Chain A
Amino acid sequence: MKLSCVALIFSLIVLASATAAAQSSSGGQELAPGSPALVTSEELLQMLQSGKDKPLVLNIGPSLLFMQAHIPGAEYIGAAAERQGLGRLRARVKPLPRNTSIVLYCGCCPWSHCPNVHPAYNQLHAMGFSNLKVLYIANNFGSDWVDKGYPTIKGQ
């Protein structure tokens, strides 16, 4: 009986550790809605319009969506779910001071299904960027930014 209890407790500890490790490596917990790592559309708009301490805004989504409409001043990096996109992201931020204010955004699909935000966030987090945010887009860039009348521009 004692042995069974010890085995059960040990199994639970191992399971809890594995779950925590998985969430940490995927960034899943940190990027849950409401997390301080996220910034809302309204907050980002205010940051961009304030004129001071503007963040570097990087688009880590697909090019066809970026070309149709994107946040003015945003730089196109490419889909961070793909090796090439992640490589471009690394190369772009490598020379920057680690306290640079950076906002990542995608908006290709609903937040829970976006393949790009977690790899991009994890990459920059691992590189030591401390002033890093991700734009929270619940549905997609069209619904959550363009349809609200927020500013956009076209092209690369």
Chain B
Amino acid sequence: MRKIVLLIVVIAIAVAVYEAGRHKSSAKGGRPGALDSAAAAFSLQDLDGKPLALANYNGKVVLLNFWATWCTPCRGEIPQFVDYQNTLGPKGFQIVGISMDDDPKPVREFYQQFKMNYPVGMGTTALAESYGGVLGLPVTFLIGRDGRIAAKYVGAADMNALQQKIESLLAK
């Protein structure tokens, strides 16, 4: 009888510890797109129809940029992103663009015109919601090598701060 009571007590403690841990982790990064939460996996096609999945960049620092061709602040950021991809790419850095345009045609034209050197896919409502909603542009996420969201920038990012953050993540 005593053994059964002891077993029940041990199980109860184990369940309590497990639940406490679970609540702690959900409070820390449970909301989609929240800092320190796991970046939502996605699988799309790029503008050439090739597969574009976040999982392809496991172990890299990823800059995920929601943008659109009609968005002036977004257009201002792109040349700097092209430069980052050139200079920081060899260190394990990858940019992924998600266009929120309604139509891919202007995106393809823009891609050529701005000599973009990183993959771009067309956004969906589900993808935007898996990052907490994209209800204004641009929105940029930095994802660390561990696959967790390390930073989020709503509106045009401060490029100096952004670059410092990228470099600190690359150093980890």
Contacts and interface: CB of A to CB of B under 8 A. Distances in A.
Interface stretch (B79-87, B89-97, B121-129, B141-149): B121-129
Interface residues of B, number: 22
A110 B73 contact: yes
Contact of A109 (B128, B133, B137): B137
Interface residues of A, number: 23
A63 B102 contact: yes
Interface string A63-88: 11101110000000011011000000
A115 B137 CA distance: 12
B44 to A, nearest CB: 13
Nearest to A70: B135
Contacts, number: 73
A69 B129 CA distance: 10
B70 A140 contact: no
B101 interface: yes
Given A139-B155, A142-B154, A68 B135 contact: yes
A63 B99 CA distance: 12
Interface of A: 62-65, 67-69, 78-79, 81-82, 107-110, 113, 115, 139-143, 146
